[in-house]
Every structure is written in C-alpha cells, then in structure tokens.
Amino acid sequence: MLEKNLKRFVVAAAIMLAAFWAGVSLVAPVSGQQAQQPAQPQAAAEETMEQKYKNIQALKGLPASQMRAMMNYISASTGMTCAECHVKNGDQWAFEKDDNNHKVIARRMITMTMEINKASFNGRTQVTCYTCHQGHDHPMHVPPIVAPKAPEAAAGAAPKPDEILAKYVQAVGGKEAIEKVKTRVIKGVSVAANGQSFPLEINFAGTDKYTLSVALPQGATTQKFVASAGWLKNSREDRAMDASDIIRAKSLAWSLEPAQLKEPFMRLGSAGSEKVGDKDCWVLQGRLQDGRRVRFSFDKTSGLLLRRVVQIVTAIGIDPEQTDYDDYRDVSGVKVPHSITTSYLDRNYNSTRKFTEIKHNAKVDEALFNLPATKQ
C-alpha cells in the first residue's frame, strides 16, 4: 500500500513545483520547528506560505521564500514538472485549484515524510521523496547491479584546512593584491540554459552592491542590489526584490568577489577529496552564518577554487546551488575566473557568465545603485 501511495505521490508531488512559477525566487531554510538544523534567520515581516499563496494546507507556517527550493527538490527527485499535475485554464495556471486529485495525494505524501522525520529522526530532514524515487517517476525498490570497480590509489594525507586556504589566497594573488580591489566593471555574455548568449554588463562595488544588465531581444533585464534590498526589471516585471530574490542576489555578488574566502576565514573542516571535471580537488566544508551548509573544492595543483556548493535546508529536502569557476586569468595582479556557471536542481535556471573584459578599480557612478521607490 505504501509503495502504491508513493507511486501516486511521484505524479502528485510534482504539481507543487508549479507554485514556483507564481513568482517565487530562491529560498530560505525551513524553521527550526520543522527541521532541527541551523536555519537561516527570517525577516520579521516575511510572509508565510498561506499568506502569499492561495489554498495552502500541508505547508502552513513555513516561510513563503522556501517554495522554490521545495518545488525544485520535488521536481528533481521525481523527474516530473508542474505541467503534469496542475490545472491550467487556457494559458493561465490556476495553482490554487484542487481539481486534479494528484494534488490532494501530494499533500498527504508531504505530510507523511514530515511525520516520519519527526518520529524517527528528531525532525531532521532524512526521509524525502528522493529516498524512494531518485529521479524516477516510480519509486526505486530494487537496487541496481553495479560492476565492482578497481581500487583507487590512495589520495595521500590531506593538508590542514588553513593550509588549503593559505594556498588559495596566494594562488589568487595574495592578500594585499586582493584587498586593493574595491570596484569591478565587467563585460561579457550570459549564456542561458538553452545555449543562447546575450550581452552582459556588471558594475560591482562589493558583496553588498552591484548592478547587472543583460540585453535580451525583448528588452534589457536588470538587477540592482544594495545592502539588503534590491530591484528587478524586465519585460514582465518591475518590482522590489523579495526575501528569496535577496538570497540569490547575495550569492551572485559573492561569486563576483576577487576572492571567495577572505580573512578571517569561516570555520571549515576537511571533507576529503573529489574530482571537478578532470581535476583533483581538496574539499572543505562548513556552515555560513545564516546556517546554510557550504562546500568548497580547491584544485590540488594550482590551489584555485573550482567549485562552491551552498545547500538550503527545507522541510522536505535540500536544495543545492552550485557555482563553478573556470578560465582563471590575471587582472591587475589578481587571478580572476572568466567563466562562472551557476547550477540548480531546476535546470531551466542554470546559466554561465563568460567575461571578456574586467577592469579593477574603475570609476563606478554611485547613481547606478539608486533603487526606485517601492510601488504600493
């Protein structure tokens, strides 16, 4: 009976993905009441699911900014999309409707996994839809037969975390050179998930201040981010960033820093080694101040950072954001990646930014960072 319910859940759960298309952006972690893991602090005024969306039942009380992460996770876990389960009237989605019984089943399955985690794992998110589905629309109940692999050569003793970080700082150009970079003007192209490229320009004045503009055929899409506020404008919308947009904006700004880790370093521990592409890397892991998990992969030979993965914990699973750094070149004494790829569980939002020109300490007009007045 459980297997039958899980099979039905696979179709049902995907319908929840559609809620993201209602306009939610990147998410914050779940509240401690649902998952006893360090959670990202929530702004006092942040809306809950039921306050922002209609007909919310199973996810009541959770921050609305978690919707995308949950839907991304369900979609990736089941291989399904919202289009297979939600109600659509013409070209308009009616996400709040329960006409499709799969949506009702999805609620039961979400509640089931939460109750299992609460009863058996002290509320930690251990059992999820991926536990059984693993990317398939039917639960995986028979283990695959895997041919044995030849034993790998020993990787050798890993250097200490502070040694890895010190090598990274030197590989980038050294602390003094890094600290001299105050602004960056960047030009290049943004390559979308479908392979299309569009002209890109970024004005960067720190991890709390940047503007970004991508020239699309239907008109420019722009972002402005200053401190803890931001603005989005494109052919479809012209609005202030919400809590989930801010998280994504901060992540983008972080990826544009001349050095991804600065002193004083966050507390990181060794996590073995892995390959990024064809390069062997040492891995360090830890937690950000907001409680999200983070992993860094450093090239064993060059010492340069090749990958950063930030994991957002929700009540139904973990939504990772992966940033890959490539094509390092010297710019005014600092090694800078000229290709930055960001990947999500929702592959439609994957993108690569390829830079053709980077100027350090170029003059940036402060007026560029002025945010429009919030519309009522």
Residue 86 lies in a domain: yes
211 and 356 assigned to the same domain:
yes
262 and 317 assigned to the same domain:
yes
127 and 165 assigned to the same domain:
no
Cα 311 to the center of its chain, rounded Å: 7
Provide the domain count of the chain: 2
126 and 264 assigned to the same domain:
no
pLDDT at 63: 85
56 and 183 assigned to the same domain:
no
pLDDT band per the 50, 70, 90 thresholds, residue 39: very low
Last residue of a domain, one of 82, 116, 133: 133
128 and 181 assigned to the same domain:
no
pLDDT at 242: 87
pLDDT band per the 50, 70, 90 thresholds, residue 142: confident
CATH of the domain at 334: 2.50.20.10
Structural domain range at position 20: 2-133
Residue 265 lies in a domain: yes
190 and 125 assigned to the same domain:
no
Last residue of a domain, one of 82, 113, 133: 133
pLDDT at 348: 82
287 and 187 assigned to the same domain:
yes
276 and 319 assigned to the same domain:
yes
pLDDT at 156: 64
194 and 270 assigned to the same domain:
yes
Cβ of 277: how many Cβ atoms within 10 Å? 10
> What's the chain's average pLDDT?
83
Question: Mind listing the pLDDT tens digit for each residue in 242-276?
Answer: 888 888 899 999 999 998 887 677 889 999 999 99
pLDDT band per the 50, 70, 90 thresholds, residue 31: very low
181 and 108 assigned to the same domain:
no
Mean pLDDT of all residues in 274-295: 92
Last residue of a domain, one of 133, 151, 177: 133
Residue 141 lies in a domain: no
**Is the model's pLDDT at 21 over the cut of 70?**
no
pLDDT at 231: 96
pLDDT band per the 50, 70, 90 thresholds, residue 367: very high
Question: Mind listing the pLDDT tens digit for each residue in 164-216?
Answer: 999 999 999 999 999 999 999 999 999 998 889 999 999 999 888 999 999 99
